[in-house]
């Protein structure tokens, strides 16, 4: 054992993914695997608090596009196409009923909220283009013009569908990208951002200081409680709760040796992740008002950390 070659945690992670995800994803796994191992591709979340009206034009000249508005346009196009087909296929009273049903379905369950989509803008380069965005620049007041993040990390915020004056809780907030995105909606009547790690909470403070004016920053309640105990502190008080839980963070696990959860010393920590995730989700549910909404998200493909926790 003392002379056996050391197996890097990244190799252990990839072996685990090959074993489990290949069974789940089948023929899709090779392309997903390649995506995990490719250079990370960032999106540029525009900072609505900065005086940076020139930035969208600058990014568009580089062939970057706002994927949120593109998704909105695609959604509207699909809805219009379905409505047109409904009008052609139906007639008289039946057609009127069909159109009414389509409109009701569209109003009840929009994939992206129109009001949020009009405020949040996140630019990405086309598929296959791994051009790097320039570093963010400060405006006259020192606020940076955009925040670089994995564009997929914006999806839980869009799914949360924040409405004007909602009380919102980001239960596992650090390092702060999703908290910043929630503020970009302009709808948070009150925002609580919590993370159990004090060091990660410092990173959250840094992001707020770099991107958010003081008058808005002062309205954010940043705490470092154990999220599993949140319901004992402020149960049933929020309209919307984001539970973006600690997980195996698959890309990091497959690519980075430092702080890798597949390291031998962290085996027990990795094994108890689904239970921790379940406890955090339960706390998030209990922190929500009756009729409120909870979004649970991870950075992992693992069913044990996703579907099984929700079930």
Catalytic sites, residue numbers: 299
Neighbours of 217 (CB within 10 A): 15
The response to whether 188 counts as a known ligand-binding position is no
The response to whether 26 counts as a known ligand-binding position is no
Half-sphere exposure of 285 (CA within 13 A, CB side): 9
The response to whether 142 counts as a known ligand-binding position is no
* All residues at 6 or more sequence positions from 36 whose CB lies less than 8 Å from its CB, including other chains: 17, 250, 251, 254, 255
Contacts 24+ apart (CB under 8 A), 258-266: 260/9, 260/10, 260/13, 261/9, 262/9, 262/10, 262/12, 262/13, 262/16, 263/9, 264/9
The response to whether 53 counts as a known ligand-binding position is no
The response to whether 119 counts as a known ligand-binding position is no
Number of continuous H segments (helices) and E segments (strands) in the chain: 15, 9
The response to whether 77 counts as a known ligand-binding position is no
Instruction: Check: CB of residue 47 under 8 Å from CB of residue 143.
Output: yes
The response to whether 94 counts as a known ligand-binding position is no
The response to whether 189 counts as a known ligand-binding position is no
The response to whether 236 counts as a known ligand-binding position is no
The response to whether 92 counts as a known ligand-binding position is no
Half-sphere exposure of 253 (CA within 13 A, CB side): 24
Known binding residues for S-adenosyl-L-methionine are: 172-178, 195, 226, 244
Binding-site residues from annotation? 172-178, 195, 226, 244
């Amino acid at each position: 054992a003392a002379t056996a070659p050391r197996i890097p945690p990244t190799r252990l992670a990839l072996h685990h993914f090959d074993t489990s995800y290949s069974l789940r994803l089948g023929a899709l796994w090779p392309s997903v695997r390649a995506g995990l191992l490719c250079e990370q591709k960032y999106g540029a979340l525009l900072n609505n608090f900065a005086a940076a009206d020139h930035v969208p034009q600058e990014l568009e000249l580089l062939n970057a596009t706002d994927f949120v508005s593109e998704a909105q346009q695609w959604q509207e196009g699909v809805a219009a196409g379905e409505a047109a087909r409904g009008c052609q296929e139906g007639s008289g009273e039946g057609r009127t009923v069909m159109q009414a049903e389509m409109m009701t379905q569209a109003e009840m369950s929009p994939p992206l909220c129109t009001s949020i989509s009009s405020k949040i803008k996140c630019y990405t380069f086309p598929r296959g283009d791994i051009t790097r965005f320039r570093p963010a620049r400060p405006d006259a007041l020192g606020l940076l013009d955009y925040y670089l993040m994995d564009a997929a990390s914006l999806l839980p915020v869009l799914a949360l569908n924040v409405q004007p004056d909602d009380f919102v809780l980001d239960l596992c907030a650090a390092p702060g990208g999703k908290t910043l995105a929630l503020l970009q909606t302009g709808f948070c009547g009150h925002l609580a951002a919590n993370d159990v790690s004090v060091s990660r909470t410092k990173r959250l403070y840094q992001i707020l200081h770099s991107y958010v004016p003081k008058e808005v920053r002062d309205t954010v309640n940043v705490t470092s409680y154990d999220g599993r105990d949140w319901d004992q502190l402020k149960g049933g008080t929020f309209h919307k709760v984001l539970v973006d839980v600690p997980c195996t963070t698959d890309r990091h696990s497959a690519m980075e040796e430092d702080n890798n959860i597949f390291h031998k010393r962290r085996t027990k920590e990795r094994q108890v992740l689904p239970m921790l995730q379940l406890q955090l989700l339960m706390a998030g549910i209990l922190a929500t008002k009756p009729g409120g909404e909870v979004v649970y998200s991870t950075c992992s493909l693992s069913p044990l950390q996703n579907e099984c926790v929700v079930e």
